[in-house]
Structure 1
């Protein structure tokens, strides 16, 4: 009983520290039965390049955010229910090693760890917590996931009309297929239920496909974006999904490039807290799982 009470207090203090690191803009994370399982830094493939993010694994959710001051100050808190997650192991890529894909209904994205050992630890613990959460909730895993966005640098031309992107011809992403498209090719909006209850940007081919399948309302058939993209650009999209707002990637892309490069080689090892409802070994906070 004493060990359990000690663990409960330590776990509460850890969760409070995570809450405090996101400041007043972060959501409350504490709730009865929630346990912080592990934490560490991963590279997340954003629109323009990989960005370092801090990740926190709880027994029922995965939380991540942008790093302002390592260990003390984070922003853009994103919360994903483990019930909504699907993982896919991947081979090493050109820009990221030790990578895997995290799929969710509203946003899917690539992440990578500092080593193969840490990658396997992250994936193993996420899958273990997810399995237990599904069993506890008595529900089936989700089967509908968002398409992964193609990174900006993957194409210098619109993937629909093949016109070259320029200062006055910006890149956008279709929320249905993830293709990189120009504003002229993505003026339409459509409701994609697992992403948002409000219309989001789709390319003209996806719009036609949805129209052919009767998935659009009459209002959506006639829905159009603005002529130059200023009022419906990716930075100012009307709909910001709960745990993966587009502005998250955009804000980080404004950070100095040299700062980003320095962070890539400054990994924070995965700390596995081994929470088994007993007093944790405090040395475990400084030793990552092997």
Structure 2
């Protein structure tokens, strides 16, 4: 499924690869503030897809490695890195659970996971252990993800339509892609899992990382609830360059996105 969607995504208006090549940064404004200065830092992006977020960190000065299980996605990321002059960016093909072996025990100052990654993982405990193994002493894991509360709401956003504690697996057979819902596709079966916020935090801390913060945000990246309004990303001290979606003024706000940072202590 993911292999088939790589050319769909690289050619889509959603990813706007031409705009990225022209200099756009795809990180959300709050991410830059919460991660901090990445100049010269070794950053690993797990489940990096075609590499636009990975290379956005490179544009901020990080020495980046992206990892994804889709060969075509890794090839697209490498080509994009070459096109934008980020020749030092490295992309590795491997399943996320196999990352420590694929990277031969290398560790990183920052391990980053972005939006829409955790729902594809059946074993959150093993994912957290894997991420913790990849974090160098004194470094940290940073996660920005869709909030599970928002993902359980009905289309009108006024009530829960899904069971928050139903973890899955959930199997779907739907054509198209979030980048182009009308695109004709052949490989449409997917299996997803839902991870309540408590499960995420418990897995991260049980893996030996110290939670520094958990932040919740009142906007998201897709228009999936009725009445959502499009807005410019103004999160963080510098804001972002992308578009976000919020509920209109007058409606109760809900958490739609969350971020967390968890560090690995330096051994005595």
TM-score, with length taken from structure 2:
0.26
Larger radius of gyration: 1
Q: Which has the higher contact order (CA 8 A, sep 6+)?
A: 2
